[in-house]
Structure 1
Amino acid sequence: MTDTTRLTTVGDAIAALSAYDPNTPLRVAVQPGYPMHHLLARVVCTPDDAEGDGTPPTDPPVVWLALGEQVGHLPESAADALGWSR
């Protein structure tokens, strides 16, 4: 995957992840200038999972991935693969 590729839909993410063993650990890399990695905490969809007030949802659904616990500094090999300098 090149740095010009964007994962903008659930289908894009599923297609990108389908090449890997489902038991492979999954992390989120953030902060290119000071690369760290985090666990994923939750996946939710709004307005479906939003706090209900009895009003039917009118906004289109959006799936959100929440960052979880910070694991530590991103390994240099991962930063290199992402095209981030360390």
Structure 2
Amino acid sequence: MTDTAAMTVGDLIAALSVHDPAAPVRFATQPGHPMEHVLDRVVCTPDDAESDGTTPTDPPVVWIGVGEQIGYLPASAADALRWS
């Protein structure tokens, strides 16, 4: 998978399946000032879903919500993500 290709649910499952299922999952953001967050909810809506009553026509997209900020991302994680 390239850095510009959209990850699919299958790609995410495959990437996670090589890790211990009991391991915590964190969300890393802001490569220039790396922070870590817990994950919140996972939901699915059509990509063009709007709250104005317009009928969506796009295929579904899975959304992973970012939860509480924990702190700074460890340097080893930033290195593994190629952010440093």
Change (3 A) 1:6 1:56: closer
Relative to the length of structure 1, the TM-score reads 0.79
Task: Give 1:43-62 correspondences, 5 Å limit.
Answer: 43-47=42-46, 57-62=56-61
Check the 8 A contact 1:3/1:82 in 2, yes or no: no
Structure 1 stretches of 5 or more lacking a match? none
The 1:83–1:54 alpha-carbon spacing in structure 2 relative to 1, beyond 3 Å, is closer
What's the TM-score, normalizing by structure 2? 0.81
Distance 1:3 1:73, change over 3 A: farther
Q: Which has the higher strand share?
A: 2
Partners of 1:84 and 1:8 in 2: CA distance? 19
Residue in structure 1 matched with residue 66 of structure 2 by the alignment: 67
Which residue of 2 is the match for residue 33 of structure 1?
32
Instruction: Please state whether the residue corresponding to 2:58 is helix, strand or coil.
Output: coil
Q: Name stretches of at least 5 consecutive residues in structure 2 with no aligned partner.
A: none
Backbone CA RMSD of aligned residues = 2.6
Identity %: 67
Q: Which runs of at least 4 in structure 1 moved beyond 2 Å after TM superposition?
A: 2-7, 50-59
Partners of 1:36 and 1:73 within 8 A in 2: yes
User: Which of structures 1 and 2 has the larger relative contact order (alpha carbons within 8 angstroms, sep 6+)?
Assistant: 1
Structure 2: distance between partners of 1:56 and 1:18: 36
